[in-house]
Structure 1
């Protein structure tokens, strides 16, 4: 069933869009809409993890170390997304979380492209 990455890519693409929507709603003061959208986003976190675990368990034999780093990076990205949203709602500083989020997203995306299931556009 999971010989391709379509479900996984779809879930994280939708999650990134929902993340931006929640941030915009929070910044515009629409807390109820932000809270509902954030709950939907949390369902997508679970879907990302579920599809990622299925892909990891089936294909990690190709390069276990890099797939493990990609898996860990993905979990860090999800954690940073949640921390950014929670701290933004509480109007606290999020600078460090943004830096970790961007770094982890870049590493995870790079590995996703580089590993055998990716597009192999990079080295």
Structure 2
């Protein structure tokens, strides 16, 4: 499930860049189509992330020492998805999205650090 999750969010990042550039070039029709594909990818991210959350949370019961970090990663992951959505909505309306880009970077760093270096199945835990 980890590979599906990573593939889904990498795809979302690629589609974010493509859709954002299409909106900025004034090609709103193609940008809107790719934006809809990103929204479908959110479902895949949420499904695989929810499955990983359930696996991690139940694997360590009754004493899972990283449960707090797992919950923070879940919230930061939702924050990443909502900031991607707001970036694309602002771009479609030709409005500045600097604050959402900043939020996206902060949340994405939190998710990467927790996912790859702190929680199980990352680089640190092997």
CA distance in 2, matches of 1:84, 1:15: 13
Unpaired runs of 5+ in structure 2? none
CA distance in 2, matches of 1:21, 1:46: 19
CA distance in 2, matches of 1:8, 1:28: 30
Q: In the alignment, does 2:78 pair up with 1:81?
A: no
2:24/2:94 contact within 8 Å kept: no
Q: TM-score, normalised by structure 1?
A: 0.91
Question: What residue is the counterpart of 2:10 in the other structure?
Answer: 13
Q: Deviations over 1:59-101 (max 9, x none)?
A: 1234211111001000000000000110111122211111111
Q: In the alignment, does 2:54 pair up with 1:51?
A: no
CA distance in 2, matches of 1:66, 1:117: 14
Question: What residue is the counterpart of 1:98 in the other structure?
Answer: 101
Displacement over 2 Å in runs of 4+: none
Q: In the alignment, does 2:114 pair up with 1:117?
A: no
CA distance in 2, matches of 1:13, 1:75: 15
CA distance in 1, matches of 2:97, 2:28: 18
- SS of the aligned residue for 2:94 comes to coil
Question: What residue is the counterpart of 1:67 in the other structure?
Answer: 70
Q: How far apart are 1:110 and its partner, in Å?
A: 0.6
